[in-house]
Amino acid sequence: EVQLVQSGAEVKKPGESLKISCKTSGYYFTDYWIAWVRQMPGKGLEWMGIIYPGDSHPRYSPSFQGQVTFSVDKSISTAYLHLNSLKASDTATYYCARLRVAVPTIGTGYFDSWGQGTLVIVSS
């Protein structure tokens, strides 16, 4: 069974940094891209970007470029989302999701398995 299990909720102060983990199991970690998706309170889904565990190559959404960093640790089949210099507007639930590549020619696809989400609250 494919599983993505994220780290727990966090409460941070403005200016602090945070790393969210997404531990995967049930499939070959290096065979699928991992995406990160933000959902602000009461709002819709926003694609932040993806990373390919095979070579740690990331692709960031223009809306999040420079604001976030993705990384992976292949040895433990885990992806990470790094958030720096947190602001109150970073308060959101962050999801990791496995990308099923459906258009090989352009390397895009959709999300067939999701983590449970990590709630991040940034407040002074």
Partner 1 sequence: DIQMTQSPSTLSASLGDRVTITCRASQSVGYWLTWYQQKPGIAPKLLIYKASTLESGVPSRFSGSGSGTEFTLTISSLQPDDFATYYCQHYNGYPLTFGGGTKVEIK
Q: Is 46 a binder of partner 1 (CB under 8 A)?
A: yes
Instruction: Pick from 23, 47, 54, 91 the residue near partner 1 by CB under 8 A.
Output: 47
Return the residues of window 77-106 that contact partner 1 according to CB under 8 A.
95, 97, 100, 102-103, 106
In angstroms, what is the minimal distance from the CB of 94 to partner 1? 11
Per DSSP, what are the bridge partners of residue 100?
Answer: 110
Nearest CB to partner 1, comparing residues 16 and 31: 31
Structure tokens at 124: 């002074």
Instruction: Pick from 7, 56, 61, 91 the residue near partner 1 by CB under 8 A.
Output: 61
Per-residue mark of binding to partner 1, 18-37 (x: CB under 8 A): -----------------x--
